[in-house]
Amino acid sequence: MNYIVKDENAIYYECGYSSDNALFLKLGSDSFFITDSRYKIEAEEFVKGAMVLIESNLLTKANELIKKSKVKKIHYDPKEWRLFHFEKLGKNLKCKFKALPDFSHKKRIIKSSEELLLLKKAATLGAKAFDEFANMIKKHGFKKDEKMLTFMAKAMLSSRGEFELSFDPIVAINGNAAKPHALPTDTKLHKKDLLLVDAGVKYKRYCSDRTRTVSAKKGFEFDYEQKFKSKKIQKAYDLVLKAHDNAIAKASSGMKAKEIDALTRNVIEKGGMGQYYVHSTGHGVGLDIHEMPYIASKSDTIVEDGMVYTIEPGIYIPGEFGIRIEDMVAMVDGRVVVL
């Protein structure tokens, strides 16, 4: 199949290297990595299985190669392209460009054994950073606001700059945790407050993703067992943990994604809090923090061995509190393994 790739992670998947200004072009048996002179040294060192071409105008060079090859059809993912760039691609060419949405994500949905090891390492580093962040909060975090706690979280997660973050961490206290994608506020952390932390790190470009909700008592840890002073919060927390555990215990290869979603959703609905579960059960994780498969109530995707995704049920009561418990899992030999 002939195709052109523009997304940075998609390019990396094809040839082991990418930059913020590059194209990967597959034409028959020939592969080309096109970038500008800023990346010449790294590209020539790290690109595998493709000819490195250094050009100031990437699209012009791509058009020249396509025209010379005389191929009749090129596949591309329309989600990768801005209209401005796409209109320049294929200008004055006779070949047909065929849109394949999520083209690279579909190729990457089943992880190799090597990728599984990288994802496990990323998840392990993330879990270690959560422990270090807990220790920092216990020593210096109380009476600090969410903005400062977020700054502290970034330092811990990145090991003070050694690792990239999967995304900007979420650090939310009490009512702000009711927003699934909460932004940091001036709310300060006090003992016995509810604290939600959602964060991840990258290892060799592969992402991790984890969420814990805790009662920020003296000596707390980011683990599953939590005791809250409010009976309402405790009920919600216990339901979310039960839903999380149910999906991990009962999901298996061959199930549809919507069936796995039901393993969390049914628990929360039977507990009388279904109206406060406002998002899907999870999403795939890999080179991108959100990939296929999407574990959602309308998804007919068959979950197979080698797929990696999150299990992250939640309950969010506006103005009061939010709870989410999230782990990254892999489907291995028909069953779920927590990474």
Span 262-296, pLDDT tens digits: 999 999 999 999 999 999 999 999 999 999 999 99
In terms of Cβ atoms closer than 10 Å to its own Cβ (0-12, 13-18, 19+), residue 187 is middle
Give the SS3 label for residue 134.
helix
**Residue 66, CA distances (Å) to 2, 53, 57, 87, 339 in order:** 10, 14, 15, 15, 42
The average pLDDT across 141-155 equals: 95
Q: Are residues 212 and 160 in the same domain?
A: yes
Tens-place pLDDT, residues 1-33: 999 999 999 999 999 999 999 999 999 999 999
Residues 155 and 220 in one domain: yes
Confidence of residue 88 (pLDDT cuts 50, 70, 90): confident
Is 111:286 a contact under the CB 8 Å cutoff? yes
For 134, the token pair is 């807990």
CATH number assigned to the domain comprising residue 7: 3.40.350.10
Instruction: Clarify whether residues 100 and 157 are in a common domain.
Output: no
Whether residue 155 sits in one domain with residue 93: no
Containing domain of residue 63, as a range? Answer: 3-107
Listed in sequence order, the residues at least 6 apart from 36 whose beta carbon sits closer than 8 Å to its beta carbon are: 21, 54, 55, 56, 58
pLDDT of residue 84: 84
> What are the distances in angstroms from CA 91 to CA 59, 64, 81, 86, 88?
9, 10, 15, 9, 6
Q: Which residues pair with 167 in a beta bridge?
A: none
Residues 159 and 284 in one domain: yes
Q: Are 102 and 292 in contact (CB under 8 A)?
A: yes
Flag whether pLDDT at 90 surpasses 80: no
Look at the chain and report how many structural domains it folds into. Answer: 2
Q: What's the predicted TM-score (pTM) here?
A: 0.94
Residue 336 has pLDDT above 90, yes or no: yes
High-pLDDT (> 70) share of the chain, %:
100
Q: Is residue 83 domain-shared with residue 101, that is, in the same domain? A: yes
Contact indicator for 297, 262 with CB cutoff of 8 Å = yes
pLDDT at 115: 98
Using DSSP bridges, classify how beta strands 194-199 and 73-76 pair: parallel, antiparallel or unpaired.
Answer: unpaired
- Whether the per-residue pLDDT at 89 is higher than 90: the answer is no
Q: Which of 107, 133, 166 is the last residue of a domain?
A: 107
Q: Could you tell me if 334 and 298 lie in one domain?
A: yes
Residues linked to residue 310 through DSSP beta bridges, in sequence order: 328
The predicted-structure confidence for 257-267, as pLDDT tens digits, reads as follows 999 999 999 99
Say how far apart CA 126 and CA 332 lie, in whole Å.
Answer: 21
Which of 107, 129, 163 lies at the terminal end of a domain, its last residue? Answer: 107
Q: Strand 170-173: give its sheet, edge to edge.
A: 170-173, 194-199, 210-215
Residues 195 and 310 in one domain: yes
If asked whether residues 31 and 163 sit together in one domain, one would say no
CB atoms within 10 A of CB 60: 14
Q: Which residues pair with 252 in a beta bridge?
A: 335
Same domain, 121 and 227: yes
The pLDDT-based confidence of 104 (bands split at 50, 70, 90) is: very high
User: Same domain, yes or no, for 151 and 40?
Assistant: no
Q: Give yes or no: residues 154 and 51 share one domain.
A: no
Q: Among residues 107, 141, 165, which one ends one of the domains?
A: 107
Q: Which residues have C-beta within 8 Å of that of residue 231, sequence separation ≥ 6?
A: none
- 85: pLDDT strictly greater than 80: yes
CATH of the domain at 188: 3.90.230.10
102 confidence band (pLDDT: 50, 70, 90): very high
Question: Each residue of 216-255: pLDDT tens digit?
Answer: 998 999 999 999 999 999 999 999 999 999 999 999 999 9
Q: Residue 91 pLDDT > 80, yes or no?
A: no
Which DSSP string do the residues of 228-296 spell out, in sequence order? -S-HHHHHHHHHHHHHHHHHHHH-BTT-BHHHHHHHHHHHHHHTT-GGG--S-SEEE-SSSSSEEEEE-
